[in-house]
């Protein structure tokens, strides 16, 4: 049975937390590539006071057709207060 997007996201979030121990902030994207899922997740790398100085990171995760995480890697970091420019 094919893995649904909702299940792929839930599995990626759970597995990334289990592997890194980092608090999950949000899911940024989920894309099916063939039988695999590529899910980008933002996590809190370091909590700070005030919250605007938290260090956030984006992790790219890849799950196989059964929902097993095949790889994860940090692809970007920023302070929560920093606003990203959106490319059009």
Domain ranges of the chain: 5-79
What pLDDT shows up at residue 19? 96
Question: Tens digit of pLDDT for each residue in 47-79?
Answer: 988 877 889 999 999 999 999 999 999 999 999
Question: Tens digit of pLDDT for each residue in 4-49?
Answer: 999 999 999 999 999 999 999 999 999 999 999 999 999 999 998 8
The DSSP annotation for 27-86 comes to EEEEEEETTEEEEEEEEEEE--SSGGG-EEEEEEEEE-TTS-EEEEEEEEEEETTPPPPP
User: Of the CATH numbers 3.30.420, 1.10.260, 3.40.50, 3.10.450, which one belongs to the domain with range 5-79?
Assistant: 3.10.450
């Amino acid at each position: 049975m094919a893995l649904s997007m909702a299940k792929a996201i839930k599995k990626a979030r759970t597995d990334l937390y289990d592997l890194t121990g980092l608090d999950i902030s949000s899911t940024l994207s989920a894309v099916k590539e063939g039988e695999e899922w590529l899910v980008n997740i933002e996590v809190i790398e370091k909590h700070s006071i005030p919250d605007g100085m938290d260090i956030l990171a984006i992790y790219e995760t890849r799950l196989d057709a059964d929902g097993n995480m095949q790889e994860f890697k940090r692809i970007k970091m920023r302070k929560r207060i920093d606003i990203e420019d959106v490319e059009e």
